[in-house]
Amino acid sequence: MVEEFTCPARYFSRREWDQLKNQFVEECFEQWRQYAPNMTKDNLIAEGLTTPADIRDTHLDMGEGGWCEGDTSGVQSGRFRGMLRGYRTPVKNLYMCSSGSPGGPGIGRGSSYNCYNTIADDLGLPKPEN
């Protein structure tokens, strides 16, 4: 699996996004073949790549094709991201856990784990063993 950030959908036409998608897949195969010479499309079960244009065209609420909530540019990342502190919301016992919560986008950021720890603190629940 390859996960990359890219520019908003408006930077390229639909045709250009499709060309970039095909080019990126080919470049990935070239890189993989350096370590596994038999890595070809013939022995691959499936491939999939989603561009900002794909997201924009299938999700009306994501007009720029981003796969996370809000802008992920430098001025909206990390400590500069305008959001609630932690995982609590102004509504008692309502918590937020998503790409818009601390840690930002990406499944490896641990926002769900961290959110559960906040809930456990508030409600006196057992915490997961590490």
> In this predicted structure, what is the pLDDT of residue 97?
81
Cα(45)–Cα(101) distance, rounded to whole angstroms? 35
Contact 118, 95 (CB under 8 A): yes
Cα(34)–Cα(84) distance, rounded to whole angstroms? 45
> In this predicted structure, what is the pLDDT of residue 114?
85
Q: Give residue-wise pLDDT tens across range 34-84.
A: 999 988 888 888 888 889 999 889 887 778 887 676 666 666 666 666 666
> In this predicted structure, what is the pLDDT of residue 18?
94
95-102: average pLDDT = 76
Q: How far is CA 111 from each of CA 62, 97, 99, 102, rounded to the nearest angstrom?
A: 21, 6, 8, 7
> In this predicted structure, what is the pLDDT of residue 54?
92
> In this predicted structure, what is the pLDDT of residue 112?
82
109-116: average pLDDT = 80
Quote the mean pLDDT of the chain: 81
110-128: average pLDDT = 89
Residue 125's pLDDT band (cuts 50, 70, 90)? very high
> In this predicted structure, what is the pLDDT of residue 23?
93
